[in-house]
């Protein structure tokens, strides 16, 4: 139940063990075409999505490396680990990085964003849609509108929303959007996809210096016309990604988003039913994540005890990262997780809490979760 890599369905796992094919042959071309068509639906974009043989961070760097040179002015909005990662990456390409950091777990304030855009007049603005490290859903649409007013390029990390939550890339005003394979798409780790708008292409072409070679998006665009990738792709992972996207198509995006939302709602209901506190502090434009639930570790037990107790019962949950280590734990509901998985998780959590004396009686969490599942 961690926020990626998620459990992979047997049919997706089995797809990886097919005999290898030539990546310049027709069979690969057909598969690439299918993957792109399915991804376009999942991204809800008119733009072309490109598949990269590298994890989410590879797509983050592809976005930055292709858009940013030493003269680019970039504002990186952050309220957690992954938002801050954009600034770290950008720092490798320009000295003109303006981090706009909010406390981890805090909400992004639109007035602060507006002021930062006015005073910095950036060419590029980055943000994470769903900040996985803190379990908060950031106001992408509202920030997208502000970024457009300033005629800047909006890079949106949708690594833990696309394929699980509502993330209509074009509607949100994202010029560049990225997703990772091992999250809501339910595929194995090691791949990512990136979509690029016309405005972003113009910026990429105007750039004075070369960006990364392996993640050169213009090379991807050139090969795209032939349904190929510029260099040898991770073929077994492409097999798995196609199967994972087929699973999504069969479920349907609407049902899939509803399932993710209900699973997270159940996790939140169970936590509060057990007297635990949710970690994020919301404002009027933010929301709890619909794919990962971050919960404060209650007094009386440590992070190691909690995770260890859960693991003993067959459930792996994530702890806090960096400055949140030991303070929170996270239950994800990404990919092809079911209500049964969530109920098993809540039951294990109740047992662990009861064993540590953090709750007197078990059952309130399960009851709260079951009430939510009645909506499914
Ligand atoms: C929101 C977000 N962005 C980026 C990443 C980085 O992805 P990866 O670990 O696949 O490189 C993650 C990983 O958890 C993430 O959750």
pLDDT band at 178 (very low <50, low <70, confident <90, very high): very high
> Is 132 a pocket residue for ligand 1 (Cβ < 6 Å)?
yes
pLDDT of residue 307: 98
Contacts of 135 (CB under 8 A, 6+ apart): 278, 279, 280, 288, 289, 292, 293, 294, 330
pLDDT of residue 197: 98
pLDDT of residue 169 exceeding 80: yes
pLDDT of residue 376 exceeding 80: no
Helix 235-251 vs helix 253-273: crossing angle, to nearest 10: 80
Say how many Å lie between the CA of residue 248 and the centre of ligand 1: 20
Question: Both tokens of residue 43?
Answer: 């991204």
Task: Kindly list the structural domains of the chain, giving each domain's residue range(s) and its CATH number in brackets, ordered by start.
Answer: 10-250 (3.40.640.10), 252-373 (3.90.1150.10)
pLDDT of residue 209: 83
pLDDT of residue 375: 77
CA separation for the pair 116, 118 (Å, rounded): 5
pLDDT of residue 166: 97
What are the C-alpha distances in Å from 311 to residues 270, 274, 306?
19, 20, 9
**Any idea what the Cα angle at residue 134 is, between residues 252 and 127, rounded to 5°?**
75
> Is 8 a pocket residue for ligand 1 (Cβ < 6 Å)?
no
pLDDT of residue 217 exceeding 90: yes
Nearest atom (ligand 1) to Cα of 133 = 16
Say how many Å lie between the CA of residue 59 and the centre of ligand 1: 10
> Is 188 a pocket residue for ligand 1 (Cβ < 6 Å)?
no
pLDDT of residue 288 exceeding 90: yes
CA separation for the pair 61, 178 (Å, rounded): 10
- Contact between 333 and 291 under an 8 Å Cβ cutoff? The reply is yes
From 104, 131, 159, give the residue whose CB has the most ligand 1 atoms within 8 Å, as the site to mutate.
159
Q: Measure CA of the first residue to CA of the last residue in the chain; give whole Å.
A: 20
Q: Output the average pLDDT for the chain.
A: 97
From 77, 126, 132, 179, give the residue whose CB has the most ligand 1 atoms within 8 Å, as the site to mutate.
132
Is the whole-model pTM more than 0.85?
yes
Average pLDDT of 201-218?
93
Average pLDDT of 151-167?
98
The residue with tokens 């996207």 is 245
pLDDT band at 177 (very low <50, low <70, confident <90, very high): very high
pLDDT of residue 208: 79
Say how many Å lie between the CA of residue 215 and the centre of ligand 1: 17
- The DSSP annotation for 68-128 comes to --TT--EEEEESSHHHHHHHHHHTTT-S-EEEEE--TTPPPPHHHHHHHHHHH--SEEEEE
> Is 56 a pocket residue for ligand 1 (Cβ < 6 Å)?
yes
pLDDT of residue 4 exceeding 90: yes
Nearest CA to ligand 1 atom 16: 132
pLDDT of residue 165 exceeding 80: yes
DSSP element (H, E) containing 192:
strand 192-196
Average pLDDT of 234-261?
98
Say how many Å lie between the CA of residue 159 and the centre of ligand 1: 6
């Amino acid at each position: 139940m961690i926020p990626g890599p998620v459990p992979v369905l047997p049919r997706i796992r089995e797809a990886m063990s097919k005999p290898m094919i030539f990546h310049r042959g027709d069979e690969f071309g057909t598969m690439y075409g299918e993957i792109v068509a399915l991804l376009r639906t999942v991204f809800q974009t008119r733009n072309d999505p490109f598949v990269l043989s590298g994890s989410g961070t590879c797509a983050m760097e592809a976005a930055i490396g292709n858009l940013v040179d030493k003269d680019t002015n970039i504002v990186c909005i952050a309220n957690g680990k992954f938002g801050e990662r954009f600034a770290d990456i950008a720092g490798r390409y320009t000295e003109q990085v303006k981090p706009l950091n909010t406390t981890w777990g805090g909400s992004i304030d639109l007035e602060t964003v507006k002021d930062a855009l006015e005073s910095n007049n950036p060419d590029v603005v980055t943000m994470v849609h769903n900040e996985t490290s803190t379990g908060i859903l950031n106001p992408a649409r509202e920030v997208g509108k502000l970024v457009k007013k300033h005629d800047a390029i909006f890079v949106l990390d949708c690594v833990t929303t696309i394929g699980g939550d509502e993330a209509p890339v074009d509607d949100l005003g994202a010029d560049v959007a990225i997703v990772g394979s091992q999250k809501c798409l339910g595929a194995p780790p090691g791949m990512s996809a990136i979509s690029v708008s016309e405005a972003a292409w113009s910026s990429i072409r105007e750039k004075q210096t070369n960006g990364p070679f392996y993640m050169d998006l213009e090379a991807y665009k050139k090969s795209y016309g032939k349904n190929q990738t510029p260099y040898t792709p991770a073929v077994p992972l492409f097999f798995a990604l196609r199967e994972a996207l087929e699973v999504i198509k069969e479920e349907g995006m609407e049902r899939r988003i509803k399932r993710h939302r209900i699973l997270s709602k159940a996790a939140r209901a169970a936590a509060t039913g057990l007297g635990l506190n949710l970690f994020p502090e919301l404002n009027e434009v933010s929301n709890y994540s619909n794919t990962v639930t971050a919960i404060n570790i209650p007094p009386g037990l440590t992070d190691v005890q909690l995770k260890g107790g859960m693991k003993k019962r067959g459930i792996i949950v994530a702890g806090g990262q960096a400055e949140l280590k030991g303070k929170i734990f996270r239950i994800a509901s990404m990919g092809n997780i079911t209500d049964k998985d969530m109920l098993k998780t809540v039951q294990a959590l109740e047992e662990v809490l009861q064993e540590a004396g953090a709750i007197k009686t078990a059952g309130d969490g399960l009851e709260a979760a079951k009430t939510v599942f009645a909506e499914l």
